[in-house]
Amino acid sequence: MKPVAILIFLALFFINVPAQNPESDKIVVLPIISNGIDLASVKTAESILRMELSKQSTLTVITQKRTLEAVGNESCSDEECAKDIGQKLDAKQALLCKLNPLGEKIIVQYILVETSTGKNLLSEQTTALNVEDLEPVMKRVAISVAKVLPFNANPEVGTIVGQESIESLRRASRYNFGVGFGYLYPDQGYDSDKKSFTINGYFDYEIQDYAVGLMLGARKGFAINLYGNYLFSRTDVCPYLGGSLGFHWVSSHQSSSYYYTTYYPNPVNKAEDGIELGLKTGVRIFHTYNFQLFIQGEYIMTFNDYNDKAFVFTIGIL
């Protein structure tokens, strides 16, 4: 009797559990409304918006074909229409977007509607300086809609729009150059010297979540290396972890100094230079601006006859 009772209990439980409707976890992107902008640019902007929204949102984007079938020959340009289309497609949210030219600029307006209530979840406006600027604008719109946050609340590297770079020093470029100052603390080798001042120059380029570049440094001699950092964030506070590989000419050893070779008849001939390997970590601050501050710690190993190893701590600006 016990197995039968258990089966009856499970049956009653599942009967009373409300069925999950997968359609309710969808969002419909209505065809972009435009006036005075060429059709090819509008279609491209809409395609970028759909693709980025699919990446950013937890909701499934209803296909363009189904959307066009629901809209038909009518032009959907207001919240009431967006609500009706969303309900027709059984979507949770509906996104309405308009592009209006103003001289060379393009005014981008978008509204996010909750289809079950008709509530306006988001109503934002921004400016694209030209048609080419629509790409980062559409990416930012997608992030804004996915997080249901204002447009200006979600700047990330790669999505900075032209208007922001002019008005608020946000950077549209991924190129960086700068300088860092700090100290080198010997761990092994370096004739047991104490800390010494170091200055480094940096030239790098950001590729998605990575920064790769060249470092020129004056630290107990001269160093040059190539480095790569993994960036854990595209926002203003960006921790990173990376490594470097290059060459280091160490000039602090007594065996090659004038004093040592003059007063010691049989100096030890050892190579001071060698391949250098570095492991680093740090944080970039104001990562989305034209200038960045950074704090970095690095452990460097020079494969020379002295087996020099050291910690290098620097702060700087890019």
Q: pLDDT tens digit string along 42-60?
A: 999 999 999 999 988 888 9
Q: Which of 11-15, 151-155, 233-237 has the lowest mean pLDDT?
A: 11-15
- The domain containing residue 296 runs over which residues? 175-317
Query: Based on the structure, what is the number of domains in the chain?
Result: 2
In a domain, 2, yes or no: no
> Is residue 186 domain-shared with residue 57, that is, in the same domain?
no
Contacts of 136 (CB under 8 A, 6+ apart): 158, 159, 160, 161, 162, 172
Domain boundary among 101, 134, 167: 167
Has residue 115 got a pLDDT over 70? yes
Residues 32 and 74 in one domain: yes
Q: Is residue 12 part of a domain?
A: no
Please report the pLDDT score of residue 152 as a whole number: 79
Q: Is residue 116 part of a domain?
A: yes
| 10 falls within a domain | no
* One domain for residues 196 and 70: no
Buried b or exposed e, range 70-104, using 16+ CB within 10 angstroms: bbeeeebeebebbbbbbeebebbbbbbbebeeeee
Paired strand residues for 302: 276
Q: What is the per-residue DSSP string for the chain?
A: -HHHHHHHHHHHHHHHSPPP-GGGGEEEEPPPEESSS-HHHHHHHHHHHHHHHHHH-SSEEPPHHHHHHHHTTS---SHHHHHHHHHHTT-SEEEEEEEEEETTEEEEEEEEEETTTTEEEEEEEEEESSSTTHHHHHHHHHHHHHHT--GGG---TT---HHHHHHS-B----EEEEEEEEEEEEEE-GGG---EEEEEEEEEEEETTEEEEEEEEESSEEEEEEEEEEES-SSSEEEEEEEEEEEEEE---GGGSHHHHHH-SS------EEEEEEEEEEEEESTTBSS-EEEEEEEEEEESTT--EEEEEEEEE-
Q: Of the candidates 137, 167, 197, which is a domain's last residue?
A: 167
- The 10s digit of each residue's pLDDT in 188-231 is 887 777 888 999 999 999 887 899 999 999 988 899 999 999 99
58 to 86, 92, 148, 275, 310: CA distances (angstroms): 17, 12, 12, 47, 46
- Regarding whether 189 and 161 lie in a shared domain, the answer is no
Residues 156 and 191 both lie in one domain: no
Beta bridge partners of residue 102, listed in sequence order: 105
Which residue, of 167, 186, 201, is where some domain finishes? 167
In-domain check, residue 1: no
Arithmetic mean of pLDDT, 29-53: 91
What was the pLDDT predicted at 19?
Answer: 44
Question: Do residue 29 and residue 126 come from a single domain?
Answer: yes
Look at residue 42 and tell me if it is in a domain: yes
C-alpha distances in angstroms, 81 versus 94, 98, 113, 119, 229? 10, 14, 10, 13, 48
Report how far residue 305's alpha carbon sits from residue 313's, in angstroms, rounded to the nearest whole number: 24
- Answer yes or no: do 227 and 163 share one domain: no
Please tell me whether residues 54 and 106 are part of one structural domain: yes
> What average pLDDT does the segment 150-166 reach?
63
The verdict on 179 and 156 lying in the same domain is no
Q: Which residue has the tokens 């490594």?
A: 243
Residue 5 lies in a domain: no
Q: Which residue has the tokens 């992107």?
A: 29
- Indicate whether 163 and 34 sit together in one domain: yes
Task: Work out the number of other CB atoms within 10 angstroms of the CB of residue 4.
Answer: 8
Tokens representing 158 are 């790669």
Backbone angles phi, psi at 276, to 5 degrees: -115, 135
Give yes or no: residues 65 and 35 share one domain. yes
Strand 26-29 relative to strand 60-61: parallel, antiparallel, unpaired?
Answer: parallel
Count the residues in the chain: 318
199 and 306 housed in the same domain:
yes
Q: Range with the lowest mean pLDDT among 174-183, 199-208, 231-240, 254-263?
A: 254-263
Residue 73 lies in a domain: yes
CATH number at residue 179: 2.40.160.20
At 150, the pLDDT band (50, 70, 90 cuts) reads confident
Q: What is the CATH number of the domain that holds 140?
A: 3.40.50.10070
The Cα–Cα gap between 25 and 90 comes to 9
